[in-house]
Amino acid sequence: MRQRIITGTVLAIALGLLVYFGEGQLEFLFSGTCVVLSTIAAFEFIRMTRNPEKLRWFDWVAVLFTISFSVISVIFFDRMVTYYIIVFAFLLVILLVYALLFVSIKDFIAKDFGNQILTIFYTSLGFIAFAYLRKESMTLIIYLFLIAMLTDVFAYFVGIKFGKHRLAVNISPKKSVEGAIGGLIIGSLLATTFAWFFQVFSYGFFTILLFSAGLSIISQVGDLIASKFKREYGIKDYSQLFPGHGGVLDRFDSSMFAAIFLMLAVMMNIIS
């Protein structure tokens, strides 16, 4: 527990500094960190899909595509029409490359095809969303992290104190329905209070609360998805990069999932 607290404190301080200074001419600090984290996440995920085998040379193609997708996104966010065209072309390139690998390499089977496509988008979209939200405003990305963090923290403590009914026993036996509800209610209220006080959105408190509750649920779903991946492949953590916390995907599993939906909501002016 001590190691977990120390690592968590260091990560929180580092992330806070990157969020605070990651704008203007120093924007590359945060967006660049998102690209690096996405790359590490891609390596963690593709290595998990090979467990207990060693990586094959074509597994690195997924990592390269993840890097490319992340870099393209953080560079062209401000030019939306151009960005959409580039992303569409990029998707076609991905499909073409993997189609060629599938028909020309005997060892590249259908499972590899699916795992690599999943790796690219599962490990890039969340971090791309982080970069986009920070580009929009500092308070927006803080709000996103608060939703995920507070939901997780209070789900843990409420679950320990009051948890009696298992939420998903076959995925994460320690999670409880009571913990999930506690994390949802307290996390949503506190994050909404922050958003309302700092005028992150132009809506009233109750509307923001409903939206926060939706993101809180999504963050918990993201956590369960990451847990199920690990359970199916028989691993405890994606890596040991952060002592006491596991890897990048262990640390950001819920927030990256919620970030995608928040990014879409902002892009589509569902909330502003």
Domain limits, the chain? 2-267
**Bridge-partner residues for 168, per DSSP?**
172
**How many whole angstroms separate alpha carbon 109 and alpha carbon 113?**
6
Q: What is the 3-state secondary structure (H, E, C) of 88-113?
A: HHHHHHHHHHHHHHHHHCCCCCHHHH
pLDDT of residue 173: 82
How far, in Å, are 76, 143, 186, 229 from residue 196 at the CA level? 30, 10, 15, 36
Q: Determine what percent of the chain is predicted with pLDDT higher than 90.
A: 76
In three-state secondary structure terms, 213 is helix
For 204, the enclosing helix (H) or strand (E) is: none
pLDDT at 197 exceeding the cut of 70:
yes
pLDDT at 198 exceeding the cut of 70:
yes
- 20-24, 168-172, 186-190, 240-244, range with greatest mean pLDDT: 186-190
pLDDT at 87 exceeding the cut of 80:
yes
**Bridge-partner residues for 246, per DSSP?**
242
Residue 126: partners with Cβ closer than 8 Å, 6 or more residues away: 38, 252, 255, 256, 257, 259, 260
Give the largest Cα separation in the chain, rounded. 59
pLDDT tens across 13-56, in order? 999 999 999 988 888 999 999 999 999 999 999 999 998 888 99
Closest C-alpha to 187, from 258, 100, 114, 95: 258
pLDDT at 2 exceeding the cut of 80:
no
pLDDT at 57 exceeding the cut of 90:
yes
How far, in Å, are 71, 80, 93 from residue 86 at the CA level? 12, 10, 10
Residue 246 is classified by DSSP as: B
The amino acid that residue 260 corresponds to is I
Instruction: Give this prediction's pTM.
Output: 0.94
pLDDT of residue 1: 66
The amino acid that residue 112 corresponds to is D
**How many whole angstroms separate alpha carbon 192 and alpha carbon 182?**
15
Closest C-alpha to 130, from 248, 8, 252: 252
Residue labelled with tokens 């404190």: 9
